[in-house]
């Protein structure tokens, strides 16, 4: 990522000692970018892609010319979107306030933000989106609030990444929730018409692995892509092995 996206606006010494935004889910975002280009018979370097990895952990990444230029996760996987049990980004002042008020140490804060927040923390029910949606249909108010917060932050992240890219050609949904929840995809796309997103609700409802669920007139192709970290890792291992063999052959 460019330094403007990677460096935190704290003391510059942070950056000098390795504290910076790294992002996570990179292997799958890379795979999805390449798979999207393949599905659209395009060159990945010609596409502006917003990739939404939505599982128990969630991140949205802006991809231009085949490279990540911004992402929602940061120095740790805690930054960014609301997740299953992680809070995502919160006002840092809350942490010092809660530490003083409840006499929590660093481990206590870590457990609070990583294990007792997110969908679970707000709903009080579950970290599983399937359970949240079932509870929403039954009229559970805190589950409804948890879902609304989740979608608000997801839509804000998609819009923010589109702004970083200067528009988008492709919107990808991947990972457990992204691949399997038509309700999440529909809610995420609702209101993004100003970006050129037009969702085919029928295709979305019956979506299967690796499918375009946008309408023909949509300026943005909306794709559901099955997560492929295992394939991406195997491919990189193969490339590394081939490179090693080539170097060995040249040396001998």
Give the pLDDT confidence of 200-247 residue by residue, as tens digits.
999 999 877 899 999 999 999 999 999 988 878 888 898 888 887 766
List the alpha helices (DSSP H) in the chain.
3-6, 12-16, 26-39, 92-102, 106-115, 118-123, 129-137, 141-165, 175-180, 182-189, 201-205, 229-251
Domains of the chain: 22-239 (3.30.420.40)
Give the pLDDT confidence of 51-91 residue by residue, as tens digits.
999 999 999 999 999 999 999 999 999 999 999 999 999 99
Q: 25, 30, 39: which is closest to 224 by C-alpha?
A: 39
In angstroms, rounded to a whole number, what is the distance separating the alpha carbons of residues 222 and 56?
A: 21
Is it the case that residue 105 has pLDDT exceeding 80?
A: yes
Chain center to CA of 189: 15
In angstroms, rounded to a whole number, what is the distance separating the alpha carbons of residues 97 and 102?
A: 8
């Amino acid at each position: 990522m460019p330094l403007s996206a990677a460096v935190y606006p704290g003391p510059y010494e942070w950056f000098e000692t390795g504290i910076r935004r790294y992002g996570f889910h990179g292997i799958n975002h890379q795979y999805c970018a390449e798979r999207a280009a393949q599905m659209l018979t395009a060159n990945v370097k010609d596409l502006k892609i917003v990739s939404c990895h939505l599982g128990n952990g969630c991140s949205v990444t802006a991809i231009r010319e085949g490279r990540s230029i911004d992402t929602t996760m940061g120095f740790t996987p805690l930054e960014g979107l609301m997740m299953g049990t992680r809070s995502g980004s919160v006002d840092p002042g809350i942490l010092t306030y809660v530490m003083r008020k409840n006499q929590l140490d660093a481990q206590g804060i870590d457990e609070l933000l990583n294990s007792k927040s997110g969908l679970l923390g707000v709903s009080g029910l579950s970290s599983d989106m399937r359970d949240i949606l079932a509870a929403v249909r039954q009229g559970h108010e805190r589950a409804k609030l948890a879902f609304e917060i989740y979608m608000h932050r997801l839509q804000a992240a998609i819009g923010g990444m589109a702004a970083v890219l200067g528009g988008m050609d492709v919107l990808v949904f991947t990972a457990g929730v992204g691949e399997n929840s038509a309700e999440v995809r529909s809610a995420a796309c609702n209101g993004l018409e100003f970006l050129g997103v037009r969702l085919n609700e029928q295709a979305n409802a019956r979506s299967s692995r690796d499918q375009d669920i946008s309408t023909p007139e949509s300026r943005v192709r909306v794709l559901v892509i099955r997560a492929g970290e295992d394939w991406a890792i195997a491919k990189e291992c193969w490339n590394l092995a081939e490179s090693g063999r080539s170097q060995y052959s040249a040396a001998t």
